[in-house]
Amino acid sequence: MFETIKDQIGDVKKIIFVTGAGISQESGIPTFRGKDGLWRNYDAMKLATIDAFYENPKLVWEWYNERRKNVFAAHPNQGHKAIAELEKYAKVMVLTQNIDGLHQKAGSTEVLELHGSIIKIKCSVCDFRDEILTEFSEIPPLCNCGNMLRPDVVWFGEPLPQNVWQKAIVSASECDLMVIVGTSLVVSPANTLPIYAKQNNALLIEINPERTEMSSDMDLTIRSTSALALPKFISVLKEN
């Protein structure tokens, strides 16, 4: 599937992966818009807002606790592992919209979490931040300052962490190859990253079972899952 651009792939020095919910779905983590579990009677899109949190913090925390259980039980799949292994052959950075930490579990060392992390918490008022690997005995949990703690994730209507986003822009602007995996490229501003790469004349490869809004802009589109396609990508790099 990579034969048509085999020579071009062999020349790349810096590879950027932009990953979305599709790669994690292969590890058993439902996509964000899934309707299973605790929130089946709620609109997940509406729960992931600061307004929903202040209106019903207990419900939002119950939803995130359910999601956290699913994340902690999940394991990196062959797609995650292939990306980590690529570090042996090229400079690799992962720009992920996922909040599950599976890239790090697989061994990737350069990961920018654009939308935060589900295993991290922060105070809704002060600057307190921490990691939490267990459930809270009472929800919503409170910070030492007396205000509510919240998941350290980016909700709809909130800006991305600017230090992370600026690093992502620089990395995308300097890469030779960008591989877009398991994302529909509809969420802004992450969907602008391929534009930055293209301005550097980088090669764009999309790996997704479904067509996306930017499929026509890709140099190569592979209608497959990351777990199937990415190990073959490694094989091509090894041959070069």
pLDDT tens-digit profile of 48-95? Answer: 899 999 999 999 998 888 888 889 999 999 999 999 999 998 899 999
Q: Is the pLDDT of residue 33 over 80?
A: no
Peptide bond into 140 cis (omega under 30): yes
Residue ranges per structural domain of the chain: 1-28+76-115+159-240, 30-73+117-153
pLDDT tens-digit profile of 180-210? Answer: 999 988 889 999 999 999 999 999 999 999 9
Q: Is 103 a catalytic residue?
A: no
Q: Which one of the listed residues 75, 80, 103, 115 is annotated catalytic? A: 115
Dihedral of the alpha carbons of 47, 48, 50, 55, in degrees to the nearest 10: 10
pLDDT tens-digit profile of 149-167? Answer: 999 999 989 999 999 999 9
Q: CB count, 10 Å around CB of 110?
A: 15
111-113/14-19 β-pairing: unpaired
pTM for the structure as a whole: 0.91
Residues contacting 116, CB < 8 A, separation 6+: 99, 151, 152, 153, 154, 161
Q: Establish whether 126 is an annotated binding residue.
A: yes
CB 98 within 8 A of CB 32: no
CATH of domain 30-73+117-153: 3.30.1600.10
CATH of domain 1-28+76-115+159-240: 3.40.50.1220
Q: Establish whether 182 is an annotated binding residue.
A: yes
Q: Establish whether 100 is an annotated binding residue.
A: yes
CB 32 within 8 A of CB 194: no
